[in-house]
Structure 1
C-alpha cells in the first residue's frame, strides 16, 4: 500500500513577488493529504525572487529546481514533473492560492473514476478583481475543447497521461490548452468539483495582462497546427458551428444594418444642421 504522497504540485516561478510566492507556497504545503511540492525557477532575474526561493527551499519541504535559461511555463512544468513520481499532478501559479482540500478532493474523483482524465474547479479571483471564473470543463471529452479552452491550467491530471502524450509543449502561452487537447484525445473526460478550490490573483504584472490579442491569436493558430487530427476528427462539428454562426451573423447584419443606416442619416442631419448654424452665426 502506498504511504507517500500521491499528488504533486509544480510551481513554475519567474520573478514573482516574494510576498506572493510565500502565500502560494504556504497554501500548497497546507494540503490535507501529503503532497510533493516542486518549485521550478525559470531563470529568474530578480534577486529578491531568487533569495525568496532559496529561503523557501532551506526552510520547507518544497524542492527547488532551476533552469539556466528561461524556457517558458510548459517546459518548466516538464522539469518539475520529471522529478516526481506521484499518481497525480497539478500546476499552481506562483502568485496564487489553493484551498487545502483541493488535492484530496481531486484524488478521490480520480481514484473512483477511470474515465476521468482531469479534475478541475471554479476559480475565485482576488486582488484587482473578485470575480468567479466558472470552469465548465469538458464533461463530454475532446469535443468540448474544439473552440475554447474550458479547462483551467491549474487542473489535476494523471501523471501517466503526461508521459503518454509526451508532456507539455514549448508554447509560451496556452501551453495548457495544447496539453489538455492531447490528454483528452486519449479518450477521457473532465469533472468540475462542486466547491471552489483555487484562488487566482489578478494584478498588472502577470503575463496574461501584458499579452496582446495578436500574440494570443498566433498561439491559438499554432495549437491548431500542432494538433490537426483533433479538428479533422470533428470536422462535422466545426463546420456546423461555422455555418450556424454565419447564419446568425447574416441575420444581425440585416437587422442592425438598417439601424445603422438610420443612425448614419441622423448623424448626417445633425452635422449638416450644425454647419448651417455655424454659418449663420458667422454671417451675423
Structure 2
C-alpha cells in the first residue's frame, strides 16, 4: 500500500483546524500520515488547538515564522514521509475514503499526476461546488483543479514545489500547470469527497481586476512553454472568450437602447410630475 501524507498549513485557524485534522485522521487508507504546519499563528484559539494536536500525537505538528501557505506546504511536504501528497487547508474537510480512492488511481495509472474529487461547499453557502470537468482549454481559462488534490511527491520535487512569489490562491494554479508541463494526466473522481468551507470573504473576492491581470501575467510567464506546446487548446480558449465578449457586446448594444429609452421616459415622467405639483 502506497503511503500518503496529508499536509495541512494552518494560520490562525482556530478550532477549524481540529475538524480538518479529524477528517484527515479518519481516512480508511491505512498508510496515511497527517502533517500540520503552524504558519506563525498568533491567536489563542489556534495555539490551544495546536497544543492539543501535539499532545494527541497522531499528527506531526511543525512550526515556522509566518511565510504564507506555499512556504508552509513546502515545509510540510519536505518533512513528510508519504509517496503521495494531499494538501488540505485548515478550514476544509475530506470524506473518509478520499485518500484511498485517489491513491488507487495513482497506483494503477502511472501516467496520471493529479487526482481530485468533486467538491461541496459548506459554511456561508452550501451545495456542490460547480467546477467544470478538466480539460486543457478549461484550465487555460482558469484554474479548475481545487487545492485539495493528490499528486506524487516526486513531481512536487521536479517542479520545485509551490511558488512563494505568487499571491495566495494563485500558487495552486501555477503548481498544477507545472505538473501538467511534465506531461502528467489528470483524473477527476466522480464522488463528492472534498468539503470546501465558504467563509464568505476569500482573497479571490477582494482582488481587484488589476491584481488578477498581474497574477495571470506572472503565471503565464512562468508556464509559457506549456502554453506554446498546447497552442491549439490555448487558441480554442481565446476563440471561446472572444465569442462571449462578442455576445456581451451584442446584448449591451441591443438592450442598452431599451435601457436608455426607459431612463429618458423616467426623466420625462419626473418632470411632468414635478410640474403637476408646482401647479398645485
Same fold (TM over 0.5): yes
Pair 1:132-2:128 in alignment? yes
Residues 251/154 of structure 1: CA separation in 2 closer, same or farther (3 Å cut)? closer
Q: Which residue of 2 aligns with 1:17?
A: 14
Residues 166/36 of structure 1: CA separation in 2 closer, same or farther (3 Å cut)? same
Q: Which residue of 2 aligns with 1:75?
A: 71
Pair 1:172-2:167 in alignment? yes
What do you get for the CA RMSD once the two structures are aligned?
2.2
Comparing 146-155 and 254-263, the one that deviates more: 254-263
TM-fit CA distance, 1:86: 1.8
Structure 1 counterpart SS, 2:192: coil
Q: Which residue of 2 aligns with 1:274?
A: 270
Residue among 101, 104, 121 paired with 2:100? 104
Q: Which residue of 1 aligns with 2:255?
A: 259
Pair 1:162-2:156 in alignment? yes
TM-fit CA distance, 1:251: 4.6
Report how many residues are paired: 277
Residue among 186, 200, 219 paired with 2:196? 200
Residue among 189, 212, 220 paired with 1:224? 220
Structure 1 counterpart SS, 2:269: helix
Residue by residue, what CA displacement relative to the aligned partner does 1:61-100 show, whole Å, maximum 9, x if unpaired?
21111112x1111111110000123210010111221111
- Gapped runs of 5+ residues in structure 1? none
Structure 1 counterpart SS, 2:114: strand
Residue by residue, what CA displacement relative to the aligned partner does 1:111-144 show, whole Å, maximum 9, x if unpaired?
1011211110111111221121144453x5x454
Comparing 232-241 and 166-175, the one that deviates more: 232-241
Residues 205/241 of structure 1: CA separation in 2 closer, same or farther (3 Å cut)? closer
TM-fit CA distance, 1:40: 0.6
8 A contact 1:74–1:172 mirrored in 2:
no
Pair 1:62-2:59 in alignment? yes
Q: Which residue of 2 aligns with 1:237?
A: 233
- Gapped runs of 5+ residues in structure 2? none
Structure 2 counterpart SS, 1:125: strand
Structure 2 counterpart SS, 1:194: strand
Q: Which residue of 2 aligns with 1:149?
A: 143
CA distance in 1 between counterparts of 2:115 and 2:47 reads: 32
CA distance in 2 between counterparts of 1:71 and 1:63 reads: 19
Comparing 180-189 and 252-261, the one that deviates more: 252-261
Residue by residue, what CA displacement relative to the aligned partner does 1:122-176 show, whole Å, maximum 9, x if unpaired?
11111221121144453x5x45421111111000001111111111101232211
The two structures have a TM-score, normalised by structure 2, of 0.90
8 A contact 1:168–1:179 mirrored in 2:
yes
8 A contact 1:8–1:37 mirrored in 2:
yes
